[in-house]
Amino acid sequence: MKDYKKYYVLPATPEEVYLALTNPVSIEIWTGEAAEMTAEPGTEFSLWEGSIQGKNLEFEENKKLVQQWYFGEQEEPSIVTIKLHPDKQGTSAELRHTNIPDEDYNDIVEGWNSAYFGSLEEFFSGF
């Protein structure tokens, strides 16, 4: 198991980024694919037409979201924490993803950089 941590700067306010991460209509706009999401702890979510699935654990409006991502039958939960910090360029998004299966690590890191935060950056840069 491996952990990944990185900061991403997005050209939008923390409120706008939080909405883009938690509202299913917004998610579908920046991902281009179906999403199921509710900003309520204990609910399950699905992104990229089911490519990413898990459970929502915690929300702090406009500041933080914590999710468990499912990777088959692994014993230790894989936890994603995204904290949003105001930044002079918009928002600094602090990502921490723990317990990533070794065989999935490179794909997950690439996904964070290009598909997830890369798509968010393109989405907000278009305004």
Number of domains in the chain: 1
Strands 90-100 and 78-87: antiparallel
Which domain covers residue 104, as residue numbers?
2-125
Cα 84 from chain centroid? 11
- d(C-alpha 121, C-alpha 112), whole Å: 12
Instruction: CATH number of the domain at 89, please.
Output: 3.30.530.20
| Amino acid 127: pLDDT | 60
| Amino acid 79: pLDDT | 97
Give the pLDDT of the chain (127 residues) as one tens digit per residue: 999 999 999 999 999 999 999 999 999 999 999 999 999 999 999 999 998 999 999 999 999 999 999 987 777 899 999 999 999 999 999 999 999 999 999 999 999 999 999 999 999 998 6
| Amino acid 90: pLDDT | 97
